[in-house]
Structure formats: structure tokens, C-alpha cells
Amino acid sequence: MTDSSAAPGKFITFEGIDGAGKSTHIAYVVALLEKHGKTVVSTREPGGTALGEKLRALLLHEKMHLETEALLMFASRREHLAQVIEPGLARGDWVVSDRFTDASFAYQGGGRGLERAKLEALEQWVHPRRQPDLTLLFDVPPGVARARLDATRTLDKFEQEQADFFSACRAEYLRRAAQFPERMVVIDSTVSIEETRARLAEILQKLL
């Protein structure tokens, strides 16, 4: 256990294509941080606020123009930053978010083909000075991810996409990981849950 009272909080984001296994590992990371005495705010995108959750329902279930989708993702993000992320970090809490802007580059950019310059403009508008301190990118081939999506649950709009969509999302995620090595760590998510946990503990140790 370490005393965290004087240390500022960190912003950690989780990324990966649907079925990559990130949800399984978020709870583990939150518990690990709390064990080290951190106050953790666990949140998600799209969503994380009352308004954001309404936008999420639209984004995950309604067909819409590609640019409308990107704009609503960033509208949800703007609210999330204002209501949850920035206040949490200002208090010294650790903010753990299931997805953030890398997902917009991967899904709306890589997957749907929106020009990168438009996403960069939105990023500059919505959070010109804020980036995650650490982004954990859970990486698996789309075939493995698909097999992991629970066959019994109703798949949302994104989860219904085909393998080539997820290959393009994954390629963009990996491109960004190569572009931002100071904050992004690629985690091979084809291995066992125990092996991944050991890797996560090792990575987080450096931040604690």
C-alpha cells in the first residue's frame, strides 16, 4: 500500500475492438488501484453522464450518417470531460474510462472511413490539452473477438459489423499505438486472463 494523498490522479483508458476482452480486465485494474489506496472513478464512453447515456442509446442502436455519429461521440465526450473526467482528476482521483478518443479514430476513422483530419479537428476542439496518462489497448484478431462476443446477447449496431470493419478498426488502433508509444501499451489479449492480469499489474506498477 502506498499513500496516495499527495499524488495527483491519473487518467487511464481501455481500448480494443468489441470482444477483445477489455471489460473483463477493467474490474481487475480498478480493484488493483483501490488496493493501493487510490480513489477511482470508473466510467465509460459513449456515456458516463446522464446526457451521455442517452446519446449512447442512440449511437448504439440508431442508424445515422457517419459524421453525425462522430459528432455525437464527441458531444458525449465533451459532457463527460466537463462532468466527470476533469472534476475527478482535479480532486486527485484516478479516472478509468472504458474507451475514449482512440475509439473514435479506430471506429469512425478506421472502421467507417471518416477522414482523420476531421477527427483531429474534433479532438482539438473538445480536449486540446487532455490526453490519457495511460491507454491499455487490448489486441486480438477479429476472429477471436467475434468468438468471444456472447452468442446469446443481442448485438448492438457496432457489434453487428463484419470482420473487415473490425480489421480496419484494429489497424487504426495499432497505428495510433505506434504513433503514441509514450501513453499507449498494446496488450496481447489472446493469452489467458491470468497472464493478462500479470502483465497489467506490471504496467500499472510503473504508474503507482
Interface ranges with ligand TYD (CB under 6 A) = 18, 23, 45-46, 73, 98-99, 103-104, 107-108, 156, 158
- As measured in angstroms, the least distance from the Cβ of 200 to ligand TYD is 18
Nearest to ligand TYD of 103, 126 (CB atom)? 103
Rounded to whole angstroms, the Cα distance separating 142 from 146 reads 6
Nearest to ligand TYD of 155, 198 (CB atom)? 155
- As measured in angstroms, the least distance from the Cβ of 123 to ligand TYD is 11
Nearest to ligand TYD of 88, 110 (CB atom)? 110
96: exposed, middle or buried (Cβ count in 10 Å: 0-12, 13-18, 19+): buried
Nearest to ligand TYD of 23, 39 (CB atom)? 23
Q: Which amino acid is at 17?
A: I
Angle, nearest 10°, between helix axes 50-61 and 66-80? 160
Rounded to whole angstroms, the Cα distance separating 11 from 177 reads 17
- As measured in angstroms, the least distance from the Cβ of 98 to ligand TYD is 5
Rounded to whole angstroms, the Cα distance separating 208 from 203 reads 9
Rounded to whole angstroms, the Cα distance separating 100 from 198 reads 24
Nearest to ligand TYD of 94, 138 (CB atom)? 138
- As measured in angstroms, the least distance from the Cβ of 124 to ligand TYD is 15
Across the beta sheet with 134-139, the strand order is 40-44, 94-98, 11-15, 134-139, 184-188
- As measured in angstroms, the least distance from the Cβ of 135 to ligand TYD is 12
